[in-house]
Structure 1
Amino acid sequence: MAGPLPLGEPAPADGSLPAASSIDPATPFSVYLHVPFCRVRCGYCDFNTYTAGELRGSRQDQYADVLLGEVALARGVLAAAGPRRAASTVFFGGGTPTLLPAGDLGRMLAGVRDAFGLDDDAEITVEANPDTVTDAVTAELAAAGVTRLSIGMQSSVPHVLAALDRTHSPANVASAAAAARAAGLDVSVDLIYGAPGESLADWTASLESALALEPDHISAYALIIEDGTKLARQIRRGEVPAPDDDLQADMYEAADRMLGAAGFEWYEVSNWARTPAQRSRHNLAYWRGADWWGFGPGAHSHVAGTRWWNVKHPAAYAQRLAAGESPAAGRERLDDDTRLLERVLLESRVRDGLAIGVLGEAGRRAVAGLVADGLVDGREAVRGRVVLTLSGRLLADAVVRALTE
């Protein structure tokens, strides 16, 4: 399970936005649907997820109806706060959304469509464990309106999967991708590098396997050791080695080189797509500061400068909604300094970059030094934007610190 929720002010029981909130109808609106169920907890994961033995009264077969209760609440809150905006993207994340029947996911999507509407070209993504994907599942998802399947591959090397506590069969990644293709869905593949015992050769083998699937999109994330996870405890006890920063840097450079040679272009530090149209529009909505409502236990939302987060446990979430109350546990109103910090943090990571003009005086002065250090593209800086070089992507956090100190 994830760590503690953030601190913040109490959220109102009716879920209403602050009175001063002003929704801009031109700001895109996205929907995140959290499915918090997993068969097995992976040792590195600190997401808000639950195995069957941890549900304590919450039932997977009732989850779709419970979540639709929050959708109904959101419909009323947003109708009272401003003009209706159709959702431009919907993302089913988890957990393992495909542990639920495809029909339940379809009903949840239909509820979102009825409540808010969907853009004609809306991007609808479902995350999937390869072992839960069949031709019948993808066909039903496509019929419900899903456009994209994001497959949790992580690695193709058995000992690396074992180190991550991943239980899926590597062979099922290919069958899942084929099932998605047969249903007309775009295919994205998620990878993780830097697991205990993973060599550079292991990582390049996983990249080659991912490319052999001919996906439209690939995400590659460095393994981060989160407090409270099984893997963090194993490292603390000396049972497995901590990730090696230099090796992870070599792995990132290998990924960028191999993906680039295969026709993929980076558009965010950890994400590559074959074409601009195949970039994850849902994730871009986060990075560009759009509005979104996150449904489900522990989900976070951001609308009109207010951020809030739901209670974590599925049983507590269901109890709040059954009582006619918002499941929000707390919220915060973002001030101008926080908005700027988050804008720099997020927009500097994307290929389009960050407008230098939004920076304070010290940040603008720092750009020249970052160019001299090879972390920011000099030609783009002359055009008025901060765009990371390959070295800058490896040191993105340091770039953000320099721009905001």
Structure 2
Amino acid sequence: MSTRVTDRTATVFTLPDAALDGLGTRPFGVYIHVPFCATRCGYCDFNTYTAGELGTSASPQSWLEGLRRELDAGAAMLGRDGRTVPATETVFVGGGTPSLLGGDGLSNVLAAVRSSFGLAAGAEVTTESNPESTSPEFFEAIRGAGYTRVSLGMQSAAQHVLRVLDRTHTPGRAVAAAKEARAAGFGHVNLDMIYGTPGERDEDLDATLDAVLSAEVDHVSAYSLIVEDGTALARKVRRGELPAPDDDVLAARYERIDARLAEAGMGWYEVSNWSKPGAECRHNLGYWDGGDWWGAGPGAHSHVGGVRWWNVKHPARYADELAAGALPVADSETLTAEDRHMERVMLVLRLRTGLPLADLQPDEVAAAERVVDEGLLRRDGDRVVLTDRGRLLADGVIRDILS
């Protein structure tokens, strides 16, 4: 098991030399968490806050001031004792709703990353956006600031499905926003889908896929609806107001999505992600391939050299701790060799490139061979790769190998 240290703040938190010594040998990225949303979606359990929930305790300005301090402190920690801080290869601004910051706000965010960690030549810079808080002027502003990729939350093209999810955008707005982003010069645009929402019909999924393909994006993320504890959706399911997602329906929807996207020239490269060749999200690949990243913002998670830590969640406390000169670290853990092995199997096996058999212990190789015989994995040289049916049961395949 990992070694955990609880209730730590920056007055005591530091990275050990062993974690820093490998910097630059692994991909390095920066994740920025924007905790603000205009409304709360019923299915969402992310660390986000509406203006009414925050009141006067925090604001985008206090968050940005804290963000600058955290990034500067992070660069100083990684550059301790004369070490070279790796230039940032990927930046991902997520949330929450980053587009609520507007073009100027997101430009300031990227400027803060540049001034602290710096950007590598050809860096991938992504921001998530809600279609309703974007415009041609917004896309032109962030493209001019240096963003190279936009990820838009579409979820569905069916109004009644969006209503169940408590999404506020109109069905056609996501496609229009994607086209505006492309017109502003973005070569890489992603649309996020959610499938399996209660009340979604086959024709609703087909309409969503038609809309996605009409937008001519080069990347699609499609996630089955998960009913998270503590959400408004979970309460409705518990009260019997909505049915829980059906596993057989989810499997059929996934196969339909995969087939339609493949026909359009987008292949899967991770179980829930499809892209045209060369349009894979490099930032997410850094997570899956065991890279390093600094996560800045309330509740953001970081990982460097086998040490993982995460920030306090509330934006007010986040800003206050940084104003007091402390990194806002809530908790941390040092991963053991066993932890790192398990995580590598869990993440890499979800990729289309598969998992090298050399990464497995002898008993795990034997288990993987049994899964091959069951038709859920296939051999590809010295690697094992999920079959089409295996993708539907990926979590179970991973458990079988690791158990």
How high is the TM-score relative to the length of structure 1? 0.95
Output aligned runs, 1:224-373, within 5 Å: 224-275=226-277, 277-373=278-374
Cα distance in 1 for partners of 2:330, 2:4 equals 9
Query: SS of 1:101's equivalent?
Result: helix
TM-aligned CA deviation for residue 19 of structure 1: 4.3
What is aligned with 2:69? 69
Cα distance in 1 for partners of 2:8, 2:377 equals 41
What is aligned with 1:168? 169
Q: Which moved more, 1:346-355 or 1:115-124?
A: 115-124
TM-aligned CA deviation for residue 173 of structure 1: 1.2
Cα distance in 2 for partners of 1:18, 1:309 equals 16
Q: Note if contact 1:64-1:105 (Cα within 8 Å) is conserved in structure 2.
A: no
Cα distance in 1 for partners of 2:236, 2:139 equals 37
Q: Note if contact 2:126-2:149 (Cα within 8 Å) is conserved in structure 1.
A: yes
1:390 to 381, 388, 391: 388
Cα distance in 2 for partners of 1:75, 1:163 equals 43
Q: Note if contact 1:31-1:292 (Cα within 8 Å) is conserved in structure 2.
A: yes
Q: Note if contact 2:355-2:384 (Cα within 8 Å) is conserved in structure 1.
A: yes
TM-aligned CA deviation for residue 361 of structure 1: 1.6
Q: Which moved more, 1:23-32 or 1:228-237?
A: 23-32
Query: SS of 2:139's equivalent?
Result: helix
Q: Note if contact 1:23-1:303 (Cα within 8 Å) is conserved in structure 2.
A: no
Corresponding position: 1:47 with 2:49: no
Q: Note if contact 2:29-2:283 (Cα within 8 Å) is conserved in structure 1.
A: yes
CA deviation profile, 1:124-156 (whole Å, cap 9, x unmatched)? 001000011111100110111000110100000
Query: SS of 1:219's equivalent?
Result: strand
Q: Note if contact 2:308-2:332 (Cα within 8 Å) is conserved in structure 1.
A: yes
Query: SS of 2:30's equivalent?
Result: strand
Higher relative contact order (CA 8 A, sep 6+): 2
Cα distance in 2 for partners of 1:219, 1:151 equals 10
Q: Which letter does structure 1 place at the counterpart of 2:213?
A: L
CA deviation profile, 1:210-263 (whole Å, cap 9, x unmatched)? 111010100000111111111111101101000000000000000010000111
Cα distance in 1 for partners of 2:180, 2:151 equals 12
TM-aligned CA deviation for residue 176 of structure 1: 0.8
Query: SS of 1:215's equivalent?
Result: coil
Query: SS of 1:120's equivalent?
Result: strand
1:18 to 10, 16, 19: 16
What is aligned with 1:209? 211
Q: Note if contact 1:38-1:99 (Cα within 8 Å) is conserved in structure 2.
A: yes
TM-aligned CA deviation for residue 75 of structure 1: 1.3
Cα distance in 2 for partners of 1:198, 1:9 equals 43
TM-aligned CA deviation for residue 8 of structure 1: 4.1
TM-aligned CA deviation for residue 66 of structure 1: 2.0
Cα distance in 1 for partners of 2:61, 2:350 equals 39
TM-aligned CA deviation for residue 10 of structure 1: 4.1
Q: Which moved more, 1:254-263 or 1:362-371?
A: 362-371
Cα distance in 2 for partners of 1:164, 1:203 equals 15
Structure 2: runs of 5 or more not aligned: none
Q: Note if contact 1:98-1:129 (Cα within 8 Å) is conserved in structure 2.
A: yes
Aligned length: 396
RMSD: 1.4
Cα distance in 2 for partners of 1:106, 1:323 equals 26
Structure 1: runs of 5 or more not aligned: 1-5
Cα distance in 1 for partners of 2:373, 2:53 equals 52
TM-aligned CA deviation for residue 7 of structure 1: 6.8
Query: SS of 2:290's equivalent?
Result: coil
Cα distance in 1 for partners of 2:182, 2:323 equals 39
Q: Note if contact 2:20-2:304 (Cα within 8 Å) is conserved in structure 1.
A: no
Query: SS of 1:346's equivalent?
Result: helix
Q: Note if contact 2:131-2:169 (Cα within 8 Å) is conserved in structure 1.
A: yes
Q: Note if contact 1:200-1:250 (Cα within 8 Å) is conserved in structure 2.
A: no
- Aligned-residue sequence identity (percent) comes to 50
What is aligned with 1:59? 59
Cα distance in 2 for partners of 1:246, 1:146 equals 39
Q: Which moved more, 1:53-62 or 1:130-139?
A: 53-62
Cα 1:38–1:7 shift into 2, 3 Å: farther
Cα distance in 1 for partners of 2:340, 2:175 equals 41
Q: Which moved more, 1:290-299 or 1:10-19?
A: 10-19
Output aligned runs, 1:53-132, within 5 Å: 53-56=52-55, 57-80=57-80, 82-132=83-133
